């Protein structure tokens, strides 16, 4: 707000340096922030414990709001990318699928005892979630000059007035975030631009207008400027392969482990789906080996399933001399659920960071 009033570039530089420190050294893979319960605070650089993560739902909401303001100031897609990632993976976990219970903290590893509550003595998170969800339509679009910007994707419609007074109507048809195809139908005639956000994970994205290739779509915003006719269609194709994410080596708790992601969603493993301790699960050698499967009990969420192995720790020891012998393993079936949907079934352990296959790594 101060920057908007003053236009002080030095203030913007400070904001960007703070953002970069947060995202490069102090943010969880979920987009959650705040590693210390004491003082509800950031920790030191790379201090990111998983089971004791504070990652308050309200802090994630604050991040969404901050990124939205930085996006409006700069037009830089990196803020929209993090805004979306945080919405799905750090805000939504704070609300149960039935909308009746809440998380105050959102750890990335749990022994099965952390469960959502219907209310809290210090109840900042429940009304904050309600406020954000009620205001969410305002985060999807923005107008600048003769351009309508599309920041987020979901089924729905918008009617916007551009700065020149031109009224634009646009309808979105999509199954996003489960499918990367977004179809836009223009509902008004006129000359204006559409600026479509292409997430950084969507390598090979495509844009078509009336079924004809229209523009290359590198990450950022793809601009379509033309004289539109009511009924014109734009089809945005965002590839969604399963991805393995790794942490910086200084985030030592995640050494030798990877996290699963697809599109804008982070995934995790819950104990009730497995015949092994989730801490011992190993991801498949190739991400392509994981298949997509709709869930029956998680609101139709797309799950990731595949055959892999789990480590079998030997003997009763806390420390021992390194033997050089290979770790014993057993075959298991892996099921990964969207992180936002964990703890909606019976209580069981949960793990975001899973073991890498043997003989792999940096």
Q: How far apart are CA 195 and CA 201, in angstroms?
A: 18
Residue 305: CB atoms within 10 A of its CB come to 14
Q: How far apart are CA 212 and CA 124, in angstroms?
A: 49
Cβ distance 206 to 237 under 8 Å?
Answer: yes
DSSP, residue by residue, 288-326: GGPEEEE-SSSTTPEEEEEEEEEE---SS-SS-----PP
Sheet bearing 233-237, strands edge to edge? 156-161, 167-174, 181-186, 233-237, 206-209, 212-216
Catalytic residue among 20, 40, 291, 312: 40
- Going from the C-alpha of 38 to that of each of 35, 41, 53, 91, the distances in angstroms are 9, 7, 11, 21
Q: How far apart are CA 276 and CA 260, in angstroms?
A: 18
40 is catalytic: yes
In sequence order, what E strands does the chain have? 109-110, 141-144, 147-150, 156-161, 167-174, 181-186, 190-198, 206-209, 212-216, 220-228, 233-237, 242-245, 257-262, 265-270, 281-282, 291-294, 302-311, 329-338, 350-351, 354-355
Nearest to 360 by CA among 309, 313, 321, 315: 309
Q: How far apart are CA 307 and CA 289, in angstroms?
A: 8
Q: 2 by DSSP, 3-state: which? A: helix
Give ∠ CA 92-93-96 in degrees, rounded to 5: 90
Sheet bearing 141-144, strands edge to edge? 141-144, 147-150, 190-198, 220-228
Catalytic residue among 9, 84, 124, 223: 124
Which pairing describes strands 265-270 and 156-161: parallel, antiparallel, or unpaired?
unpaired
Which pairing describes strands 257-262 and 242-245: parallel, antiparallel, or unpaired?
antiparallel
The residues that are catalytic are 40, 124
């Amino acid at each position: 707000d101060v920057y908007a009033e003053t236009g002080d570039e030095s203030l913007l530089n400070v904001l960007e340096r703070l953002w970069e420190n947060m995202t490069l050294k102090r943010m969880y893979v979920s987009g959650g922030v705040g590693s210390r319960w004491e003082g509800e605070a950031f920790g030191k650089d790379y201090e990111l414990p998983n089971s004791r993560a504070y990652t308050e739902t309200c802090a994630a909401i604050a991040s969404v709001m901050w990124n939205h303001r930085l996006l409006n100031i700069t037009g830089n897609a990196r803020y929209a990318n993090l805004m979306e990632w945080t919405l799905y993976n750090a805000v939504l976990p704070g609300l149960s699928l039935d909308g009746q219970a809440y998380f105050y903290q959102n750890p990335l590893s749990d022994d099965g005892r952390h469960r959502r509550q219907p209310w809290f003595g210090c109840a900042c998170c429940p009304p904050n979630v309600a406020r954000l969800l009620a205001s969410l339509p305002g985060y999807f679009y923005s107008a600048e000059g003769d351009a309508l910007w599309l920041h987020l994707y979901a089924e729905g419609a918008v009617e916007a007035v551009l700065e020149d007074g031109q009224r634009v109507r646009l309808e979105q048809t999509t199954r996003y975030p489960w499918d990367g195809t977004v179809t836009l139908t223009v509902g008004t005639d006129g000359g204006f631009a559409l600026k479509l956000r292409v997430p950084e994970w969507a390598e090979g994205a495509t844009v078509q207008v009336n079924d004809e290739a229209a523009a290359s779509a590198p990450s950022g915003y793809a601009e379509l400027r033309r004289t539109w006719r009511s009924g014109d269609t734009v089809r945005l194709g965002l590839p969604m392969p399963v991805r393995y994410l790794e942490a910086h080596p200084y985030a030592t708790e995640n050494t030798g482990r990877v996290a699963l992601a697809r599109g804008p969603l982070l995934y995790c493993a819950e104990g009730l789906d497995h015949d092994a301790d989730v801490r011992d699960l190993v991801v498949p050698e190739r991400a392509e080996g994981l298949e997509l499967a709709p869930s029956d009990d998680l609101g139709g969420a797309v799950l990731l399933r595949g055959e892999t192995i789990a480590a079998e720790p030997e003997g009763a020891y806390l420390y021992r001399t390194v033997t050089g012998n290979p770790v014993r393993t057993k075959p298991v079936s892996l099921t990964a659920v969207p992180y936002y949907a964990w703890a909606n079934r019976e209580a069981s352990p949960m793990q975001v960071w899973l073991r890498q296959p043997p003989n792999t790594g940096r």
